Structure 1
Amino acid sequence: MTSITQAVEFDADDEETFVPALGETHSARAKQILRDHPEIRGLIGRNPWTAAVTAAYVGIQLAVAVAFGWAGASWWWLALIVAYGFGAFLNHGLYVVVHDATHNLIFRSRFANRVVLLVADIPQVLPGAMGFRACHLAHHSHLGEMDGDTDIPHAWEARLIGHSTWRKAMWFLFFPVFQVLRVTRVRGVATPDRWMIANYVVNFGFAGLLGWFAGWTAVLYLFASFWFAISLHPLGARWVQEHFTGDEVHDTANYYGPLNGVALNIGYHNEHHDFPSIPWNRLPEVTRIAPDYYLTLPSHRSWTKLLIGFITDPAQSLWTRTVRPEAGGRAAGA
C-alpha cells in the first residue's frame, strides 16, 4: 500500500496551477473489477440499519447537548472541549449518513431517504443536508471539473492560502465558509426547493426549541460539534485525503485507519467512487475481494498525520487538488 508523502514541486516565481488529471478512472476500473470479480454485484443494495445508527448518533448528541444546557452557561468551555473530543466524531458520522441517504442507500423510497437526511442534519444546527445532496451528486457526475465540482477550491482561494503554514491552518479552521463560497462558482447546483426549505425549517426550528428548553449552551455544543467535525480537526483532513493527491494518474486517495469505525467507512473513497451503489458497511468487502485493485492506490493510515503534514509541509497547498484539464484546470483561468 502506498502513501502520499509529497506534493508536486512548485516554483514561487511561476504561476501555479491545479494538478491536471489524465482522465476519469473510476468507471473504467469498476468495469474491469466486475469482469474479474462479478460477486461484487452482490454487495450493491441498501442498508436500512443505517437509520438505527442515525437514531443512536442523533439521540446521543441531543442528550449531551441537553446536559450542557441544563448545566448552565458557565460550562461553555467544557462544552467546546467535549465537542472537539467527542461530539465532532458523531456529527461527522451523521454527515456520512447524509452521504449514504444522498445515494438512496438506506431505504428503497426516495422520500424515506430524504427524511433520514433531515433527521441526520438536526445536530449540525446549520442546515446543509439538502445542499450537500445536490453538490455531492454533481461531484460524482463532474468529478474534477472546475465548472461542476464544488469540491475544487476557487483559484482565488488557492492563491490566498498559498503554501503558508498558518494560512493553511486557518483554511482548515474556516473550511465550512470556504465550502459554502464554492457553490457560487458552480451555478445551478443547489437550487431551492421544498426539501431545502424543510431543511431550514427543521434545523433552525429545532435549534430554537432546544435553546428555549435546555439553554443556549446546548446549541453551542451542537454547533461546535458541527464546526470541528469538518474543520481544524483530524476528521477535517478527510477533505485533503479524498482528492488532493498531487498525482496525474490517481485523482482519489483512501484512508484505511481506525477512525473508519466511527466515520462509517468514509475513508474507502476509491471504492465508493467506483461503486456508489454499495452502502458504507459493505465497502471494506470490496477491498477484501479485489485487493490487487485497491491496496496499490494512494492511501493514508492516519488523518492526524495527514493534517499536520499538509499544514506544515511548504510543498503542500490547495494547488495539489487534481482537476480535469479539459474543464479549465489551470488555476489562473478558473
Structure 2
Amino acid sequence: MEKTGGRVDFEWVYTDQPHTSRRKEILAKYPEIKSLMGPDPQLKWVVSGMVLTQLLACYLVHNLSWKWVFFWAYAFGGCINHSLTLAIHDISHNVAFGNKLAKWNRWFAMWANLPIGLPYSAAFKKYHTDHHRYLGDDKLDVDIPTDFEGWFFNSPARKVLWLFLQPLFYALRPLVVNPKPVGLLEIQNTLVQLTADAILFYYWGLKPVVYLIAGSILCMGLHPLSGHFIAEHYMFLKGHETYSYYGPLNCITFNVGYHMEHHDFPSIPGSKLPQVKKIAAEYYDTLPQHTSWSRVLWDFVFDDSIGPYARIKREYKLSKQE
C-alpha cells in the first residue's frame, strides 16, 4: 500500500505577501540597493554563448546513435537548456536591455528560447508577472499546483511521477487556472521557434531536434537542477512561502537560488543578487534557507507533510482597472 500524504489542502493565509513590506524597509535603510537595479551588460553575451554552444552540440549529435543522443540530452544539453529557461526568467524582468528597450528583451528571450526546442519565452513573461504581483493568489498565480495535483500526487511514488511530469504541468496549468488570449508576441515566438527547428531538421535531421526538446523536458523534470522549482515556494516550514539557496548551483542557474532576494527586488539582475544579500544581511541570514536542491527533492518525495499541497495561498482583491 502507498503511503498517503499528510496535507489535504493548501495553507490559506489572509495577509499580504511579505516581500512588499520587506522591500520598503530595506530600501529605507539601504537606499544604495537602488543602484543595483537596471540591465546586466554581460547577460546577452553569456546567453548568446550558451545558444551557440547548443548549436555546435546539435551538429555533434546528428550522427550519434539514439541512445547517445538521449544520454547527452540529459547529461549536457538539458542542463544548458534548463539554465537558459532561468536566463529567460531574468530577461522577463527586462534586465538584458533595460525597461526602456522592453521589446528588445522580448526578442532576446526568443533567441535564448531557440535551444529549448519549444516556444516558451513569450507566454512565460505574461504569467510570471502575475506570479510576482499576486504571489500565492488562488487564480492568478499559476505557479501553484491545482487541487487535482495536490489530491492525487500525495504518495512517494506519485510525487516522483509528478516531478517527472513537471514540464507538462507548467505548460498546461495556466490554460486551466488562468487562460489568457494568445498575443502577437506568442505567435512570433512560435514562428521563430518552429523555423529554427525546421532548419535544424533540414540540414542535420531529426536527432538534433530531439536532442534539444528531450533535454529540456528531462532536465526540467526529474533532475537535480529542478530542485529549485520545489525549493523556491513550497512550505517546508509553516508560514514561510519563499526560500533562498546559496549553494554552487547558482553559478549555472543565474543565481535563481537567491529567490528571497529576487522577490524582494525583481528588477535587480540575478548576477547582482548576492550583493543584495551582502548589504542587507541581517534581513536574510536569519530566514529559513535550503542547502541542497537534491535534498529538497528527496524531502519532497518522502516527507508526508510536503507535496503539491504544501503551498501558501491567498486571495487578492483586484480593482476594476485590473
1:304 Cα deviation from its structure 2 partner? 1.1
What per-residue deviation string (whole Å, max 9, x for no partner) do you get for residues 137-194 of structure 1? 01111110011000010001111101x11111111111111112211233344x2122
User: Is residue 147–residue 327 contact of structure 1 (8 Å, CA) maintained in 2?
Assistant: no
Q: Which of these residues, 150, 159, 165, is aligned with residue 158 of structure 1? A: 150
User: Is residue 5–residue 307 contact of structure 2 (8 Å, CA) maintained in 1?
Assistant: no
**Aligned Cα RMSD in Å?**
1.8
Provide the residue aligned with 1:186 in structure 2: 177
- Tell me how far apart the structure 2 counterparts of residues 291 and 145 of structure 1 sit (CA, whole Å): 29
TM-score by length of 1: 0.89
- Tell me how far apart the structure 2 counterparts of residues 104 and 305 of structure 1 sit (CA, whole Å): 32
Amino acid across the alignment from 1:167: R
User: Is residue 261–residue 277 contact of structure 2 (8 Å, CA) maintained in 1?
Assistant: yes
Q: Which of these residues, 30, 33, 42, is aligned with residue 35 of structure 2? A: 42
Match of 1:267, SS? coil
Amino acid across the alignment from 1:234: P
Amino acid across the alignment from 2:50: Y
Assess, with a 3 A threshold, how the Cα gap between structure 1 residues 129 and 297 changes in structure 2: closer, same or farther: same
Provide the residue aligned with 2:91 in structure 1: 101
Amino acid across the alignment from 2:161: M
Which has the larger displacement, 264-273 or 222-231? 222-231
- Tell me how far apart the structure 2 counterparts of residues 47 and 19 of structure 1 sit (CA, whole Å): 37
Provide the residue aligned with 1:30 in structure 2: 23
- Tell me how far apart the structure 1 counterparts of residues 255 and 235 of structure 2 sit (CA, whole Å): 19
User: Is residue 127–residue 199 contact of structure 1 (8 Å, CA) maintained in 2?
Assistant: yes
Match of 1:103, SS? coil
User: Would you say 1:66 and 2:59 are equivalent positions?
Assistant: yes
- Tell me how far apart the structure 1 counterparts of residues 207 and 141 of structure 2 sit (CA, whole Å): 36
- The runs of at least 4 aligned residues of structure 1 exceeding 6 Å deviation read none
Amino acid across the alignment from 2:171: V
Provide the residue aligned with 2:320 in structure 1: none
TM-score by length of 2: 0.92
Provide the residue aligned with 2:291 in structure 1: 301
Match of 1:318, SS? coil
Provide the residue aligned with 2:228 in structure 1: 238
User: Is residue 103–residue 276 contact of structure 1 (8 Å, CA) maintained in 2?
Assistant: yes
User: Would you say 1:18 and 2:18 are equivalent positions?
Assistant: no
Match of 1:183, SS? helix
Q: Which of these residues, 153, 178, 193, is aligned with residue 203 of structure 1? A: 193
Amino acid across the alignment from 2:119: P
Unpaired runs of at least 5, structure 1? 1-9, 329-334
1:273 Cα deviation from its structure 2 partner? 0.6
User: Is residue 9–residue 150 contact of structure 2 (8 Å, CA) maintained in 1?
Assistant: no
User: Is residue 89–residue 263 contact of structure 1 (8 Å, CA) maintained in 2?
Assistant: no
Provide the residue aligned with 2:45 in structure 1: 52
Identity %, equivalent residues: 35
1:314 Cα deviation from its structure 2 partner? 2.7
Provide the residue aligned with 1:284 in structure 2: 274
Q: Which of these residues, 154, 160, 164, is aligned with residue 169 of structure 1? A: 160
- Tell me how far apart the structure 2 counterparts of residues 181 and 55 of structure 1 sit (CA, whole Å): 29
1:26 Cα deviation from its structure 2 partner? 0.2
Provide the residue aligned with 1:128 in structure 2: 120
Unpaired runs of at least 5, structure 2? 318-322
- Tell me how far apart the structure 2 counterparts of residues 160 and 327 of structure 1 sit (CA, whole Å): 27
